Amino acid sequence: MYDADDLLSPTEAARLVGCSVNTISRAAKRAGLGLRLANGRLVAIRFADLRTAASFTRDCGGVNVPAR
């Protein structure tokens, strides 16, 4: 499915874990994940970071990210 270093858009990440893009963006910013532009907008999240970030599963109601 995905390799650990694959980059996901916030939309792809939200779809994968079943929560909103805003939830993904908030969780990523709190956990310091993702690549950001100068204005602070989240543009990409490494799949491995999405898999391992406990804040994503908490914020998304305990939904686990599927294994690759």
User: Does 16 reside within a domain?
Assistant: yes
- Tell me, yes or no, whether 42 lies in a domain: yes
How far apart are the two ends of the chain, measured CA to CA in Å?
A: 5
45: CATH = 1.10.1660
Q: How many domains does the chain have?
A: 1
Parent domain of 51: 7-59
- 3-class SS of residue 68: coil
**Residues 7 and 48 sit within 8 Å (Cβ to Cβ):** no
Residue 67 placed within a domain: no
Which pLDDT belongs to residue 28? 77
Cα separation, 26 vs 36, whole angstroms: 13
What's the confidence (pLDDT) of residue 35?
Answer: 76
Specify the pTM.
0.70
The pLDDT tens digits for 3-58 are 888 888 889 988 988 888 888 888 777 777 777 666 777 788 888 888 776 445 55
| Residue 28 falls inside a structural domain | yes
Task: Tell me whether residue 68 is in a domain.
Answer: no
pLDDT at 2 over 80: yes
- Tokens linked to 25: 């963006």
Confirm whether 39 is domain-assigned: yes
Backbone angles phi, psi at 11, to 5 degrees: -65, -45
